[in-house]
Copies of this chain bind each other. A is one copy, B any other.
Amino acid sequence: MAVTLRDVAHALGVSHTTVSNAYNRPAKLSEQLRRRILDTAAEMGYQGPDPLAAGLVRRQAGALGVLFDEDLAHALTDPAALLFLQGVARAGQASALGLTLLPAPRTTEDLAARSALVDGFLVYSVAAGNPGFLAALRRDIPLVVVDEPAPPNGDDWMFLGVDDRGGAELAARHLLELGHRRIGVLVDRLTPGDRQGPADPERLAATTYQVARERLTGYLAPLPEHPWIWECGGGTPEHAVPATRALLASGVTGVLAMTDELARGVLRTAATMGVAVPRDLSVIGFDDIPEASRTDPPLTTVRQPLADKGVLAVEVLTGARSAGVRLPTHLVTRATTAPAPR
């Protein structure tokens, strides 16, 4: 496009401001002139004010950026992230905002967050110290972190999370009350990377994902003895397969899965191994994603308000609500938990 506002103005012998007004402030000129302007603009192939230029002077982009940990395609397969995103989309659509999805890669290379044309950032569960996150933080636009990382000094950035620790504790207590003593814990990841295997105390101490740390703390709190803890190296159901085999081999009767996706993997693996849930094995997930109520048997899990979190995050970002909140979690007892065998 070569034809600009001024070209149109010239062609009609009016000031360029008037042409601008024809688009943005119809009230400021006669309907008649406005028609003339719009018509000749169409004739000349003028497509309306350039959004970039308008954005520059208005100092706004009309979109909000959502930063996901590492890979974008990953986030798009995670039901929890998706549900959050739906909430964001609903709230954003109400404010006529676009949604710009951005990856926050571990490498310093990329600069997506530095140069993204957005009015604010929603950071969804990104590893502490992630370069993309840091870049976003430096931008002079509002930023709300959801779930992770929690601000070290309480007010380094706006934060919205859930009561991970409390929810985890509920889950552990539930197993305990059912008489389970040999308990296994499944974590997706303790640190960025795909490390998998049993997690010894040293490894646990190295945990950088704060949500993992919180849930772990909650799990451990009521347990009389240390459970088996297994790091899966990823969050899909498939990642839970080797861990489940290992845990079952250790004679575990109850599994605390840190996410519902992992719990689904446990369920599937148990089924293929001929282990009956909940008779031989109890399983509790975390998140209460939609699929959780449709697993076979339906999954007992800790519910957190995922979609609401998305809506609230946008409200915090736009200043309609104050930050620093931790939303409540609670146990949803379905059919994957039963008294311990024997």
Seen from chain A, the residues whose Cβ lies within 8 Å of a Cβ on chain B are: 1, 47-48, 50-56, 59, 61-63, 65, 71-73, 76-77, 82, 85-86, 89-90, 92-93, 96, 98-103, 110-112, 114-117, 138-140
CB distance from A180 to the nearest CB of B (A): 29
CB distance B89 to A76 under 8 Å? yes
Residue of B nearest to A58 (CB): B52
7 inter-chain pairs at a CB distance below 8 angstroms, sorted by A residue, are A47-B139, A55-B55, A62-B115, A72-B99, A73-B86, A76-B86, A96-B110
Residue of B nearest to A42 (CB): B138
* CB within 8 Å for A101 and B89 given contacts A56-B52, A61-B52, A140-B1: yes
CB distance from A171 to the nearest CB of B (A): 26
In the bound complex, residues from chain B placing their C-beta under 8 Å from that of A54 are 115
In the assembly, what is the distance between CA of A61 and CA of B117, in Å? 7
In the bound complex, residues from chain B placing their C-beta under 8 Å from that of A116 are 51, 62-63, 98
Choice from B65, B101, B140 contacting A47 with Cβ under 8 Å: B140
**Could you say which of A52, A61, A138 has the most chain B C-beta atoms within 10 Å of its C-beta?**
A52
CB distance from A174 to the nearest CB of B (A): 28
Residue of B nearest to A99 (CB): B101
CB distance from A245 to the nearest CB of B (A): 20
CB distance from A255 to the nearest CB of B (A): 21
In the bound complex, residues from chain B placing their C-beta under 8 Å from that of A103 are 89, 93
In the bound complex, residues from chain B placing their C-beta under 8 Å from that of A139 are 47
* 16 further contact pairs, Cβ within 8 A, besides A52-B52, A117-B117: A47-B138, A48-B114, A52-B61, A55-B56, A55-B117, A61-B117, A62-B112, A62-B116, A73-B89, A76-B89, A98-B102, A98-B116, A98-B117, A99-B102, A100-B100, A101-B101
